[in-house]
Structure 1
Amino acid sequence: MNRIGRRWVAAFGLALMAAACESGGTAGPSEQALPIQRAPTPESEFTAKEIETTLDTLVAEFNEGAVEPMQMAILLKELGGFFTPITTGANRAMGELGVTGNVVGPSGQGSDQQQRAEAQGEQIVQAVADGAEGIGVSPFGEAIAAGIEEAVADGVPVVTLDTDAKDSKRAIYVGTISEAAGVTAGETLLALLPPAPGTVVIHGADDPSWVDGMNRMQGARGVLEKADYKVVVRAITWSPPGEAADVEAMKALIETADPPVVGLLGLHNVSYRCAMAAEAAEAAEGAGAKRLPVVAFDFEPKTVEYLRRGRIDATHAQRQYYAGYLVPYILYGIKTIGLDATKALFAPRMFDESRLNVGLDVVPSDKVEEYNAFLDSIGVVQ
């Protein structure tokens, strides 16, 4: 961890000590709860300054009234991998707030999505029975709705994160908004393209049953088609031999498309396959082959490798840490100042009435080390 990170951790430790003193028991007549204090987030070009400012305003609102104890539960699909930064953010926020709560993974029940969603619904019901006054959950699917409705009927608000259960009675969704993410990715690639005409290959979703994937793809497609490019979607092959199949299919598109391919855009964590396809096509063409711009999504190790080599021009990193960090503050806000007041404070980041967009970090190939330094400074393993 670098020097900035050590300073952040030291400040965070002080905030945790204050939170621990606050939550150590019910305040007696002569005692007064300490005000909530956020540990300062290190300054960086990747710091989500608008979110940080809003959180400071939210905390000021909390401290205007009586600081109250609260119990909450954060239920995630996993605790590692993609969810590691979410876990870090949620635990940090609960420590700063001085609330009682845990971040827990799936119950392990069920072998398919439907069964896991139902088991997660049971986790919600159990959390309410255990005294939770607010619940954050990353849903496995819409089958979780019954558990959410039961919690809401008992007066316990539920906030979803990372994935949504839009047809349930959840209060707010917090995370990446697929439509907006697609537009941002399309705009990043657009800035690197030669003037139209030309074909752009999107490596993404074309299955209507995958709503988030389709929304992300359509957001990007709309940007590029509006700029008069022809868009061809190569649906991601997830099952083996997925990588080889995707690379070969995109290589063939590069070699045969009319008008010629002028760029590639990957919209999911395997988007480094676009760089592999571009390299394969350039190698087949030989000396003098034109270099194609490639824009990716997520910050997977292979994607970072291609960024460092300059073969991916930029990627879009999701702000999992901020999604996890925001949820406890929002749950606490719903309890203390109310749902409407909490949403009003976050109005600049509300995509619509009930979805809060944490946004994306656009990481160019020449900013990889700076981005890694930012992640290190907030104690996040991406």
Structure 2
Amino acid sequence: MIEVDFQLGRPSEEARIVVAMSGGVDSSVVAALAARSGAEVVGVTLQLYDHGAAVERSRSCCAGQDIYDARTVADRLGIAHYVFDYESRFKDSVIDRFADEYMMGRTPIPCIACNQGVKFTDLLSLARDLGADCLATGHYVRRMAGPSGAELHRAADPARDQSYFLFATTADQLDYLRFPLGDLPKALVREVARDLQLIVADKPDSQDICFVPNGDYASVVKKVRPEAAQEGEIVHMDGRLLGRHKGLIHFTVGQRRGLEIGGQKEPLYVVRLEPGVRRVIVGPKSALAVRTAHLSDINWLGEAQKEGLTAKVRSMARPAPARFDGRSLHFLDPEYGVAPGQAAVIYDGDRVLGGGWIEETIAAELEPA
């Protein structure tokens, strides 16, 4: 079995590691690696919503089945395990925010909000209260020592990299966090789990947002904010009324499917949402080209802004060459499908320099290169 240096700063037998255990294979293997280090290990699982309604959803990261799996793995490893109820906190800081963002015509990313709050603020504070030397998680990113302290880097396996979702991690949090899987391929992680005969060794990865059944975002938003289902107009950017929709929550910038307006000479995409009048503005793909994105709530982990950077505006997007002036992101080539509410994450090579939330975009046709 592989071994990991948790960089505890003192002999392992004198140290304590808290592991965030979601009930999946990744965090379970992290717990196993921590136990192998010789340190005292405490597994912690957060109950983030009424898991009684989520037991059927074994592909979600916080369902009741996952809590059971985390406890079973902890028993197998011979480590302590605790479940803490953070349902109210999660609803206020993640679910309600998710619904409100959709109501404002934005494209929310709740996993980042969860990392910002419940996981890397509340859970980290809980780990400190338990006297832990560090908090270890199953995220696929690398924490590397730099001349000015710990740095956040992409995972060695690009197919598993989760750095986009962790851009808001602060320097203080990064100093305390450990990511043992950052240098490992997923296949090896599963192999370790099988060798240890962990019940989660072949458990499928989570595919959906944990509180969104079957990827149906609209139903969740309507449950939290019933007024979100109000109808409105679908209007071409040239002013033509093309049809009506059943709620802005069904649309996001860059979307093509689901418009249900036929008879057009060219494919149409959602170009803009106007929540004040519940209007969906559509147009050709060329209208989606963006040259500049203004950011808010910027978290910066680098020493200084510089040229030669790249940026991602969606988790699955390729990093695009860009320049950052401290507030705005300027793409060297037009970027498509950039939506308010999304995160823009800025890289220097593999290193995460920081990022922020997209508040406003400027179309390429309105701004010269």
User: Which has more helix, going by share of residues?
Assistant: 1
More strand by percentage: 2
Indicate whether the TM-score tops 0.5.
no
| TM-score, scaled to structure 2 | 0.29
| TM-score normalized with structure 1 length | 0.28
